[in-house]
Amino acid sequence: MTDTPAQQVAAPQRSWYKRNEIAVTPWLFLAPAILFFAFYVIWPIYQSIAISFYDWDGLGEAQYVGMANYVELMDDSAFEVSLWNNLKWLLFYLLAIPGGLFIALFLNQTVTGIRIYKSLFFFPFVLSQVVVGLVFSWFYLPNEGLLNGVLGLVGLGPVNVLGDPTMATYGIIAAGLWPQTAYCMILYLTGLNAVDPEQIEAGRLDNAKGWKMLWYIIIPQLKPATFIAFVVTIIGALRSFDLISIMTNGGPFGQTRVLSFYMFEKALSEYGFRMGYGAAIAVVLFLIMLVFIAYFLWSMWSEEKRR
């Protein structure tokens, strides 16, 4: 194509946007997402931290109290219970990872109908936590529940899982493990699909079998799946709110509270609107999460650098 004189003249006077197109375009594309995200996520984090230094009922004037909310937390036995329960959640929720791997290994076959089995095993993950909570609270019912029906068959006495302060939290975690295990299972099924068959053959030639094969050849290759399983399980454990709210509402005697639930209770429930105190609890939860977030970001960053 030959340039007409008019185009040659126009070239040096291209618009500012044309000249800076490569530099400006990404910001134009990013603007809406960043604005939304800053407004609804980043700014509120800062605000919550600020509110945690105030005594505020959400309506009237906020009163600056410095560290008083945090000092009060130190002596709050309900806070201590919540913190311990969060730890239990973190620990036992991780069972979803070996559980998911186990089911994935069980289902990683090519018999007829296996696809339907896989999707039905995965199915609990699609249910909302509210429905899972309801289903399990009926499952646990002291007289009518299926659990006690089954226990009765083998001659074990009826247990009131959700009514027992020492058992209730574990009962809720078990309910949470149901969908979470399904999620880990699907991650591992995808991972197993991509395992290098040559390495397995090589392992077989070297007489690696069963556990040895699993531990030394399969699991190392499943590392990306394991990483994602860890991320989603830890986040899920620290976010546990729906199940507790539905199944026990924090009871019996507040023994199933976790930080996320206790915060909600303090800030927004019938026990009064203590926004500042609630925000302080949220900040503690945020700091715990921050440790994990920093670790996740660090792993992602080293991954990026390697590319």
Partner 1 sequence: MFPTPIEKTPRSWQLTYQSLLPLALIMWLLPLIAVAIFSIKPASDFTQGNYWGMPSSFELFANYGQVFFNSDMPRYMLNSVFITVPTVIGAVALSCLAGFALGVYKFKSNIWIFFMFVAGNFVPFQILMVPVRDLTLDMGLYNTKTGLVLFHVAFQTGFCTLFMRNFIRALPYELIEAARVEGIAEWKIFWYVVIPLMKPAIAALSVLIFTFIWNDYFWAVVLTQGPESQPVTAGITSFNAQFRAAYHLMSAGSIVAALPPVLMFFLMQRHFIAGLTLGAVK
| Backbone torsions φ then ψ of 269, nearest 5 degrees | -110, -170
Gap between the Cα atoms of 145 and 175, Å rounded:
14
Structure tokens at 224: 């990306």
Question: Per CB under 8 A, which of residues 229..288 are in contact with partner 1?
Answer: 231, 235, 238-239, 241-242, 245-246, 259-260, 263-264, 267-268, 275, 278-279, 281-283, 285-286
Amino acid at 215: W
Tokens matching residue 246: 């539905």
Shortest Cβ 108–partner 1 spacing (Å): 7
Asked if residue 252 lies in contact with residue 165, where contact means CB atoms within 8 angstroms, the answer is yes
Of 86, 32, 51, 140, nearest to 291 (Cα)? 86
Verify binding: residue 177, partner 1, rule CB under 8 A: no
Member of 171, 191, 250, 254 binding partner 1 (CB under 8 A): 191
Helix axes 168-193, 114-122, angle to 10 degrees: 140
Q: Is 178 one of the binding residues for partner 1 (CB under 8 A)?
A: yes
Smallest gap from residue 255 Cβ to partner 1 (A): 20
Comparison of 136 and 168: residue with beta carbon closer to partner 1: 136
Tally of CA atoms within 13 A in the half-sphere of 117 that contains its CB: 12
| Among 9, 11, 19, 47, interactor with partner 1 by CB under 8 A | 47
Per CB under 8 A, 138 contacts partner 1: yes
User: Interface with partner 1 includes 58 (CB under 8 A)?
Assistant: yes
Q: Is 183 in the site for partner 1 (CB under 8 A)?
A: yes
Cβ neighbors of 99 (< 8 A, separation 6 or more) are 177, 181, 184, 185
Q: Does 78 bind partner 1 (CB under 8 A)?
A: no
Work out which of 16, 27, 211, 271 binds partner 1, going by CB under 8 A: 27
Q: Which of 13, 46 has the CB closer to partner 1? A: 46
213 binds partner 1 (CB under 8 A): yes
